[in-house]
Structure 1
Amino acid sequence: MFTRLAGALVRAIMIVVVILTPSLLLPGTTAESAQLATLVALAFAMIIMFEYGAKYPGLIEFRNAPPFNRIRVIALFLMLFGLSIIIGNGNEGSTLTVIITALGFLVGRALDFPYSPLRVVLDYLPQGVDPTLAVQIQAMAGLVMLVTLISLFLFAALLRLENWPNRGTAFNVWVNLPTFDPTAGGDVVKRLNRDGRVNVIFGLTAPFIIPVVVVMASNQVQVSLTGSPQTMVWAMTLWMFLPLSLIMRGQAMLRVARMIRARRARLVAGVATNASGSVLSSSTA
C-alpha cells in the first residue's frame, strides 16, 4: 500500500510540473493566469492521487499497462516545453531556442503540403498576422507534429516488438479499461474492435477539425488565439495531443481485442484436444 501511495504521489507531482511548464517558462505571465494554471494542476494532481492510490480503478485507462500513460505524459511535457521555448524566447537567440525552433520549422516546412493538418492551421491564421509570428506558428506546429509522430511510432514498436501489454502478468480488462463494460451486450471482441477503429478514425480526423472548431469558438467569444502566448501554447498542444491520445487508445483496444481472440482460440484448441484424447482413451479401452 505504501508503494502504491508513493507512486501516486510521484505521478501527481509530475502532472503538476507538466501543467505548470508554460507558466514557468513564458515571460509576462500574469498573476491571474498563474493562479488558474495552479488550480488546474492541483485538480489534476488530486485526480491522479485518487486514481493511482486507490486499489480499484476509476477513470484512468491502462494504469497497470505501462508505458501507455507514460508515453502520453512525456509527449505532453515535450510539447509544452518546446512550444514555450519557441514562443517565449524567440528573440533571445539562445542555443536551445535556435535548435528547437529550427527543428520545428524544418518539420513544418516538410509537412506543409496541400490538405495536410499543418496547412489547415496556417490557412486559419488571422488576416494580416505578423510574418515573424506566422513563422513561429509554423515551427510550433511542426514541433508538436514531430512529437506526435515519434510517440505513435514508439507505441507501435512496443505493440509489435515488445508484445505490449504482456509483461509477465495477466491483463485485467476491468482495471485497465474501467469505462468499458464487457457485459453491456454483444461480443466483447467485436465491441473492442469497433471502439478501437472509431478512436483511430477520430484521431486521424481531429487535426483537421480542431482548428476549425477552435477558430469558430474564438470568434464567438471574441478571444484572440494569437494574443496570449499561453493560449497559443495550449491550443497548439491540444491540437495534436488529443489526436495522439485517441489513436493510442484505439491501437491499445485493438491489441486487447486480438489478445482476447487469441486466448479464446487457445481455450477452444485445448478443449478440442482434451475431447479427442478422451474419445481415444475410450475407444482403446
Structure 2
Amino acid sequence: MVKRIIGSAVRALLMAFLMAVPSLVLPGTSSDAAQLAALVALVAAVVTFAEYNSEYPTFLEFRNAPPFNRLRFLALFFCVWFASLLIASEARDPALPPTLLENLAVSAKSMLDFPFSPVRLISITFADLPAPFDVDGATRIASLLLLVTMIALLLFWVHARFIFWPIRKRAFNFWINLPLFDPTSGRDVLFRLKRDAHFNLALGFLLPFLIPALLRLWIGAFDASMLAVPEALIWVLCAWAFLPLTLMMRGIALFRVAALIEEKRRRAYAQEDELQIA
C-alpha cells in the first residue's frame, strides 16, 4: 500500500514537471501562461496519481507492463524538453557557436527533410505563416522530435521482440493492462486483438502525414498567429510526433499479446491431444 502511494506520487510529480517544462525553460513567459501551465500540471498530476494509486484499472493501458508507459513518458519528456531548449536558443546571440542540440537538430533535418516526408509536409504547412514565424526553426524542431520518437519506437520493438515483453519478470494480467478491452464480447479475442493492432499501426503510420493537412485547414480557417506563441508551437509539434508513436507502440503491444495467447492455446491443444492419445 505504502509502496503504491509513493510510486503514484513520484509519477504524479514527474507528470506535473513535464507539463511545466516549457514555462520553466522559455525566457519571458507571461504570468497568464505560467498560471495556465501550473493548472494543467496540477490536473495531470492528480489524474496520474489517481490512476496509479487505484487498485483497479480505469483507462491507462499496460499499467503493469513496463517499460511501455515509461518509454512513452521519456519520449514525450525529451520531445518537450528539446523543443523548449531549441526555441529558447533562438534568443541567444547569433555570434555564439551552435549548441550540441542545435547541431543535432540540423543533422536530423538534413536526414528527414526529403520530398513527401512528414517533415517536408510540416514545413509546407508553416510556409504561409506571418513573417516573424521561423519556418526553418520549426522544421528543425520537428525533425528532431520525429527522430526521438523513432528511436523510442525502435527500442520498444526490440524490447518486445527479443526480451520477452511483457512476461519476462511477471505474469501478464489482461484485465489490468487492457481495462478498455472486453475479451468476452464480439468475435474471437485473437481476431479482435490483431484487428486493433493493424488499425493502430496503420493510423500511427498515417498520422504524421494527416496532421499537417489538418493543421493546414486549421490555419486557413482560424487565427494562424497562435502558432507563433512558443508554448503552442511546442505542444503542436510534440503532438504531431508523439501521437503516432503511441498508436504504433500500442499496435506492437497488441500483436505481442495476441502472440502470447496464440502460443498458450497451441500448448493447451497439444496437451489435449497427448491426453487423448494416452
- TM-score tier, shorter chain, comes to over 0.9
Match of 1:281 in 2: none
Contact 1:102/1:139 (8 A) holds in 2: no
Match of 1:276 in 2: 277
Match of 2:57 in 1: 57
Code of the residue aligned with 1:209 in structure 2: it is L
Match of 2:18 in 1: 18
Question: 1:24 deviation in Å?
Answer: 0.6
**Using the alignment, how far apart are the partners of 1:19 and 1:96 within structure 2?**
30
**Using the alignment, how far apart are the partners of 1:219 and 1:39 within structure 2?**
30
Match of 1:89 in 2: 89
Contact 1:51/1:57 (8 A) holds in 2: yes
Code of the residue aligned with 2:13 in structure 1: it is I
**Using the alignment, how far apart are the partners of 2:97 and 2:33 within structure 1?**
26
CA distances 1:35-80 after superposition (whole Å, capped 9, x unpaired)? 1111111111111111110111001000000000000000101001
Question: 1:116 deviation in Å?
Answer: 0.5
For residues 1-285 of structure 1, what are the structure 2 equivalents within 5 Å? 1-92=1-92, 98-127=99-128, 130=131, 133-277=134-278
Segments of 5+ residues of structure 2 without an aligned counterpart are none
**Using the alignment, how far apart are the partners of 1:166 and 1:93 within structure 2?**
52
Q: TM-score, normalised by structure 2?
A: 0.94
Contact 2:204/2:247 (8 A) holds in 1: yes
Taking only the aligned residue pairs, the percentage that are identical comes to 39
Q: Which has the larger radius of gyration?
A: 1
Deviates more, 1:12-21 or 1:165-174: 165-174
Deviates more, 1:38-47 or 1:59-68: 38-47
CA distances 1:198-254 after superposition (whole Å, capped 9, x unpaired)? 000000000011112123224333142442111111111100100000000111011
**Using the alignment, how far apart are the partners of 1:192 and 1:85 within structure 2?**
40
Question: 1:96 deviation in Å?
Answer: 10
**Using the alignment, how far apart are the partners of 1:147 and 1:67 within structure 2?**
16
Contact 1:105/1:135 (8 A) holds in 2: no
Contact 1:192/1:257 (8 A) holds in 2: yes
Look up the SS of the partner of 1:224 in the other structure. Answer: helix
With over 3 angstroms needed to count, the CA separation of the structure-2 counterparts of 1:192 and 1:7, relative to structure 1, is: same
Q: TM-score, normalised by structure 1?
A: 0.92
Code of the residue aligned with 2:245 in structure 1: it is L
Code of the residue aligned with 2:45 in structure 1: it is A
Question: 1:270 deviation in Å?
Answer: 1.1
Question: 1:129 deviation in Å?
Answer: 5.4
Segments of 5+ residues of structure 1 without an aligned counterpart are 278-285
Question: 1:130 deviation in Å?
Answer: 4.9
Look up the SS of the partner of 2:139 in the other structure. Answer: helix
**Using the alignment, how far apart are the partners of 1:87 and 1:116 within structure 2?**
23
CA distances 1:58-114 after superposition (whole Å, capped 9, x unpaired)? 010000000000000001010011010111122426999621111111111111111
**Using the alignment, how far apart are the partners of 1:149 and 1:69 within structure 2?**
16
With over 3 angstroms needed to count, the CA separation of the structure-2 counterparts of 1:33 and 1:131, relative to structure 1, is: closer
Contact 1:104/1:138 (8 A) holds in 2: no
CA distances 1:248-281 after superposition (whole Å, capped 9, x unpaired)? 011101110111000100111111112212xxxx
Look up the SS of the partner of 2:6 in the other structure. Answer: helix
With over 3 angstroms needed to count, the CA separation of the structure-2 counterparts of 1:55 and 1:91, relative to structure 1, is: same
